[in-house]
Amino acid sequence: MKYYSLTTPSHKVSFQQAVVSGLAPDGGLYMPEHLPVLSKEFISQLPVLSKEDIGFTIARLFIDESVSDKTLYEIVRETIDFDFPLVALEENVYALELFHGPTLAFKDVGARFLARILQHIAKTIHQEITVLVATSGDTGSAAAHGFYNVEGIRVVILYPSGMVSALQEKQFATLGKNIQAIKIAGTFDDCQQLVKQAFQDEELRKTKFLTSANSINIARLIPQSFYYFFAWLQLSTPKHVVFSVPSGNFGNLTAGVLAKKMGLPIDAFVAATNVNDVVPEYLHTKVFKPRASTQTISNAMDVGNPSNFPRLLALYDNDWDYISKEIYGYAFTDAETRMAMLDVFNQKKYVLDPHGAVGYLGLKKYLGRNPDAQGIFLETAHPSKFPDVVESAIQQPISIHPSLAELANKQIQSLSCTSNFSDFKNLLMKH
């Protein structure tokens, strides 16, 4: 399997090159040159297969012989060694809980997979790899813990000052060792732009072996497709299945579309966003207008120019009629999000996080028009990562997860920087 640049399709590289580079030299995202399709026999056997066998079978389709079967199976096994429960809230409404990993967020899957792939690569090239990560919250935590103390890997995490929760910040900015956090005076979009500029800076590319752990890296997307299969097989009689995905950078939704293109029977997707609604707006108007992001209570989704949108378009041949038949876009305000959290708690005694609440709202809106569908929304982070928001919404105190309680006395070890690229470059070179 080769990978091509969405900007210059004639530029093709191996899986290893795509992973290590993160972005193509022209700034384009890498995509597989063809989409593998799983056999109908494999789909029919899903209920009797282990999740390790499912993940390995999918990953093997995308990864060449530079990673042996034995190594790849072990990478998959270590990546998904926690639960992915599907919780029924009401008729045809299920929450897929993706927060049972070490940092209590869905991004643990992609980060753990990427960390193990890069560790394998670092051993073969005998050179330290610097991983650049832009985060609006959970990506930083997942990357920091996925790569922590991994030999041959240095991680630099950029995050917008004052725009991640205190607990999220402590998860990635207190570790030290091979993890360096940098607080940027700007938005998540500014952080993301700095990462992209770094990859295109010739001096940096010559002096540091750079790659990315954001969802621009194809090795993040591949394993995120796994849990769509895990969710589907937990339905007793899957029929007219729709996934509602709380969306910011759109890597998670893109992974779901990959699963569908590989043969998983999914009828539709909901792209559920907060007021940063550039993709729902596109799905309604055919016009994509990126803009500065707006801060909300669902902070991990505060993205005004989602970097995976070109991949999503490519999966639908850049055809608006095609994409709008399978993906429905809905956006919700903070007030609507809070009300959904309160209603679900009062009626079901289930605590939604502010991102999952957006996914829930998107699903309910879709089911209002398609009542025969079976709906799954993604609960992407543990609610106790956002205690102030959740407690204010449900008007009740919540228990803090033990792993988060342990962070209380840890000290932030971040550096500070402007959003100016030359300042960031100097800091990166210096440290």
* Residue positions counted in the chain: 431
Q: Considering the domain boundaries, does residue 228 fall inside one?
A: yes
**Tens-place pLDDT, residues 242-272:** 999 999 999 999 999 999 999 999 999 999 9
**Tens-place pLDDT, residues 12-34:** 999 999 998 888 988 899 999 99
**Tens-place pLDDT, residues 68-110:** 999 999 999 999 999 999 999 999 999 999 999 999 999 899 9
CA distance 299 to 306: 14
What pLDDT does residue 276 have?
97
Q: Which domain holds residue 374?
A: 84-105+220-401
Do residues 390 and 398 lie in contact, with contact meaning Cβ atoms separated by under 8 Å?
yes
Q: The domain spanning residue 361 has which CATH number? A: 3.40.50.1100
Question: What positions carry a catalytic annotation?
Answer: 107
Q: Considering the domain boundaries, does residue 267 fall inside one?
A: yes
Q: Considering the domain boundaries, does residue 66 fall inside one?
A: no
CA distance 66 to 224: 21
**Tens-place pLDDT, residues 157-174:** 999 999 888 888 999 999
Which of 177, 185, 187 is closest to 150 using CA atoms? 177
Q: How many CB atoms lie within 10 A of CB 373?
A: 17
pLDDT at 288 over 90: yes
Q: Considering the domain boundaries, does residue 96 fall inside one?
A: yes
Q: Please identify which residue in the block is written with the tokens 């999220």.
A: 168
The mean per-residue pLDDT over the stretch 397-412 comes to: 91
What pLDDT does residue 126 have?
81
List C-alpha distances in Å: 97 to 110, 183, 383: 15, 30, 11
State the total domains in the chain: 1
CA distance 376 to 347: 18
What pLDDT does residue 348 have?
96
Q: Which of 316-330, 343-357, 399-413 has the lowest mean pLDDT?
A: 399-413
Please state whether the predicted TM-score (pTM) of the whole model is above 0.85: yes
Q: State the chain's mean pLDDT as an integer.
A: 94
CA distance 108 to 16: 21
Q: Considering the domain boundaries, does residue 234 fall inside one?
A: yes
What pLDDT does residue 39 have?
94
Residue type, 419: S
Q: DSSP label at 420? A: -
**Tens-place pLDDT, residues 204-247:** 988 888 888 878 899 999 999 999 999 999 998 899 999 999 99
The mean per-residue pLDDT over the stretch 280-308 comes to: 94
Q: Considering the domain boundaries, does residue 276 fall inside one?
A: yes
**Tens-place pLDDT, residues 186-215:** 998 899 899 989 988 989 988 888 888 878
What pLDDT does residue 402 have?
93
Q: Considering the domain boundaries, does residue 48 fall inside one?
A: no
pLDDT at 55 over 80: yes
Q: Considering the domain boundaries, does residue 386 fall inside one?
A: yes
* Contact partners, residue 343, CB within 8 Å, separation at least 6: none
List C-alpha distances in Å: 142 to 101, 133, 138, 214, 276: 9, 10, 6, 10, 23
Position with higher pLDDT, 263 vs 137: 263
